[in-house]
Amino acid sequence: MTDREFDAPPVGEEIHLPEPSLVPILNAVGVALALVGLTISYVITVVGLVLFLVTLVRWIRDATHEMSELPAEHRGAH
């Protein structure tokens, strides 16, 4: 038997997928604005950093909330 056979969830077990969200896209936009702003204007850099930090906190909070809703046997390391 290979390791791949053990990675699959048991038959009939539902695979958890995160909810659709714009947060990852906005996070990437924030990073891009911050980097582009370094060459254009520090105002754009600040706006990008603020957007990045706000979306980062929101993304972590959403992921933590989703993890807390999973059954206990699905949280934690294998």
Residue 4 in tokens:
């791949």
3-state percent breakdown (helix, strand, coil) of the chain, nearest 5: 70, 0, 30
pLDDT of residue 10: 64
List, in order, residues 6 or more apart from 67 with CB less than 8 Å away. Answer: 75
Question: What does pLDDT average to in each consecutive run of 10 residues of the chain (78 residues)?
Answer: 60 72 96 97 97 97 84 61
pLDDT of residue 69: 77
pLDDT of residue 52: 98
Q: Distance between CA 27 and CA 5 in Å, rounded?
A: 35
